[in-house]
Amino acid sequence: MAVSFISRRKEQELVTPARSTPHEYKALSDIDDQRGLRCYPAGVEFFRCRRDAGTPSARDIADEPVGIIRAALAEALVSYYPLAGRHVELPAAGGKLLVDCTAEGVVFVEADADVQVDDLAGQTLAQPYPCVEELLCSDIGEPQDPVLASHYCFSSDGFAIGYRHCRSIIDGFGMTQLLDDIYRLARGETLIIQPVWGRELLTSLSPPCTMHSTARTTHFRQPPPPQQQTLS
């Protein structure tokens, strides 16, 4: 049986980093700067409510999920602060794309729907999701040019997180790391691995260079062969 529903969206808001972050420009690599990557891929993740409070630190996600996730996102943006900026194009530099780390924030949309998580695809959620556009942000891009937009749709037994991200700025692996860190912070934990930019490693040199100098390899003396012992 086909499932049909409509999510009731609230007004868009911008979630900014929880604390002050550097205001600077971040250059993209020559790989990330390709025209074909200037798009907004989408993804959806589903969560069921866990109502057991077996430990004092356990949180019932049904109590106040919006506030918990919003706070976790704001905290994550302290480390992932380029995602709270805006991408800008430099016509004088051949259309080079940069990230202006303005800390304006990521698009955050809260919504609710009269549908159960299990109604979407039975016990095992699998693509294609019914009414997937109801789980994603719309109207993103110019003139705001956000790096990330997230849509949080809640029902009585769980919620879905739909997101669109600027592929030039963050790829699928980076998005997975970001989401894992948001969930980790929502559980009251801390980040295990701090994100790094490092785009200069994938930027071509001008003029091109086919040789790259490395530190001299240290040669260690081979250990002597093991001695054979005769058992009497």
User: Domain coordinates of the chain in residue numbers?
Assistant: 8-187
133/231: higher pLDDT: 133
Q: pLDDT tens digit string along 83-124?
A: 999 988 887 777 788 899 999 999 898 888 887 777 776 555
61/30: higher pLDDT: 30
Q: pLDDT tens digit string along 146-177?
A: 777 787 777 767 888 888 888 888 888 999 99
Q: pLDDT tens digit string along 41-83?
A: 888 888 877 665 554 343 444 446 788 899 999 999 999 999 9
Residue 222 reports pLDDT greater than 70: no
90 pairs with which residues across the strands? Answer: 96
Residue 72 is predicted with a pLDDT of 95
Crossing angle for the helix pair 65-79 and 172-186, to the nearest 10 degrees: 120
Do residues 169 and 99 lie in contact, with contact meaning Cβ atoms separated by under 8 Å? yes
Residue 14 is predicted with a pLDDT of 92
Q: What is this structure's pTM?
A: 0.77
- Which burial class, exposed, middle or buried, applies to 102 when counting CB atoms under 10 A from its CB (0-12, 13-18, 19+)? middle
Residue 41 is predicted with a pLDDT of 86
Mean pLDDT of the chain, nearest integer: 79
Across 33-38, average pLDDT: 82
CATH fold of 8-187: Chloramphenicol Acetyltransferase (3.30.559)
Residue type, 193: I
Across 181-209, average pLDDT: 86
Residue 79 is predicted with a pLDDT of 97
Residue 147 is predicted with a pLDDT of 76
Element (H, E) at 8: strand 8-9
Across 179-195, average pLDDT: 93
